[in-house]
Structure 1
């Protein structure tokens, strides 16, 4: 089968390309040429910008394919450009498409989020919702041009060569022997993540079962969802380190909120995706255990002691330790002052059910 992979050089792309090749498919990669991963050298490359229709038409000419995997670029241009030129069209989008991902009055994100939950209104004037609206419009373009197309919704990814390596905030602090890490509200937020190998497995499952995938939307994600606190502590444990978590309110921990939480802390507190549909309809199975995937990623960092994502504008953590130390010291001093200023009486523990000591009597609480 002839498969066109649009993108294919990002974090999950090489795993998709490898999986296609292992299945005996003939792979063509269409991308800008900015990154040329060594594992993709054995496949045909077409260079152009998949964000613009004229560049798409120039790069692809009149070629046809059995399947197209749109993992990068503007789907609003790719979908019509490839109408009638492929039997299967699979598009990769994201979870901000759901109404409530950016919380607003009257819109809350369900827990867990399922594929038929409401989508954002693309006509909103809100800047964040306009971003979500473009994702919704892209999905509509897929099904308008390819009624038997498929849409996959990615959550946050983790793995080598990620444009925004969230775990680096933890890894570098451990390398720098920091005793603590600030997490907004203690890191109670739970967001589904997906190892890049597992993300690729969702795409490959759709390719393997085109009839089942036709006309469908699927959430993607690991089988477990960690809170930010659990995730940071997992990284520390796998690195053999101890890292205290300092819980500060997000309106105090401004730098941590805007650099560590998704999209600068503007999203719903929890975004937990259900992936049951992909399991039942596509027979999806994870390619790697999430803890093993994180261990593999940390080994990748170990091989790169000079790793520094500072040149990538998607990564915003400044590692300003002097400011962090001062903030924590002032916050703890304020807590002490508050504790001294207001006298409080702790409530005694009480079991919810009565516990009488003899038949026919009540317990010490009169129950």
Structure 2
């Protein structure tokens, strides 16, 4: 088959391209040309900007394809530009399309986990929810121009060459021999993540099931979600480090909240997606164990010591260690002051079941 991959140079694209080549497909990549992954050197490239309709038309000309996998750019331009020019259209969207991803009065809260039938943002929206509405409009455009298309909703991804790698906040602190790392609200926030190789496996599962996937939407992601603290601890452990994770209220840990939580901490506390539909209808199985994928990512950093994602405009962690030290000192001092200012009586540990000492009598607590 002739397959056009729009994007294909980020964390997931190379896995998708390799998978297509392994199936014997004739693959072409359409991207801006900013990044040229060496593993795709033998694949045909078309350079243009998939964010703009005029650039899409100019770059693709009159070409036709059996399959288009749109992983990058603007779907509201790509969908009409490729209408009638491909047999199948597979689009990658995102979990922020759901109502409640950005908590807003008047919208339904985001359930845990969220399934594909949870409503998306369609009404007039401002601020962060306007982004959700645009995602929903893009999905609608896909199905308008390609009624048998498939949309995959991706969560947070992890793997090499990620534009904003969450693990770098841990990796760099370990490399810098920091004794601790601040986590907002103790890092209890649950967010579904997906290894890049497994995200590509969702694409492959869609391509392998053309009839069941026609006109459908599927969540993508790992079956198990890490909390932020579990994620940070796992990365530090893989690096052989003993990194103390210091939990501070988000009202105090302003920089940690905005730098470590998705979209500066504006999302729902827990964003956990249900992937049962893809497993049931497409027979999706992960390509790798996510724990092995995380270990491979940490090893990749060790093999590329010169890489510094903090230089990316998309990465906002400032690694201001002086401010972190001062904040933790101030918080611990204030915590002692507050604790000493109010007389409190700690409750003793009490087993919930009765323990009578005499048959037919209650125990010493009257149970």
1:3 is displaced (CA, Å) by 0.5
1:123 aligned partner: 124
2:86 aligned partner: 86
1:21 aligned partner: 21
Question: What whole-Å deviation, never above 9, does each CA across 1:27-61 have from its counterpart, x for those lacking one?
Answer: 01111111111111111111111111111111111
1:63 is displaced (CA, Å) by 1.5
Residue 250 in structure 1 maps to residue 238 in structure 2: no
Residue 77 in structure 1 maps to residue 77 in structure 2: yes
2:52 aligned partner: 52
1:122 is displaced (CA, Å) by 4.2
Aligned ranges 1:171-190 → 2 under 5 Å:
171-190=171-190
Q: Give the SS at the match of 2:242.
A: coil
Q: Give the SS at the match of 2:246.
A: strand
Number of matched residues? 366
Unaligned stretches of 5+ residues in structure 2: none
Unaligned stretches of 5+ residues in structure 1: none
RMSD over aligned CA atoms reads: 1.0
Any conservation in 2 of the 1:122–1:134 contact (CA below 8 Å)? no
1:349 is displaced (CA, Å) by 1.9
Any conservation in 1 of the 2:5–2:69 contact (CA below 8 Å)? yes
Residue 103 in structure 1 maps to residue 93 in structure 2: no
Any conservation in 2 of the 1:101–1:268 contact (CA below 8 Å)? yes
Any conservation in 1 of the 2:122–2:137 contact (CA below 8 Å)? no
1:105 is displaced (CA, Å) by 2.6
Residue 224 in structure 1 maps to residue 232 in structure 2: no
Residue 329 in structure 1 maps to residue 367 in structure 2: no
1:292 aligned partner: 292
2:351 aligned partner: 351
Aligned ranges 1:191-206 → 2 under 5 Å:
191-206=191-206
1:207 is displaced (CA, Å) by 1.0
1:116 is displaced (CA, Å) by 0.6
Give the TM-score of the pair, scaled to structure 1.
Answer: 0.98
Residue 281 in structure 1 maps to residue 253 in structure 2: no
- Structure 1 residues 122, 203: CA separation in 2 closer, same or farther (over 3 Å shift)? farther
Give the TM-score of the pair, scaled to structure 2.
Answer: 0.98
1:151 aligned partner: 151
Any conservation in 2 of the 1:4–1:28 contact (CA below 8 Å)? yes
1:5 aligned partner: 5
Moved more, 258-267 or 202-211: 202-211
Question: What whole-Å deviation, never above 9, does each CA across 1:322-347 have from its counterpart, x for those lacking one?
Answer: 00000000000001111111110011
Any conservation in 2 of the 1:122–1:130 contact (CA below 8 Å)? no
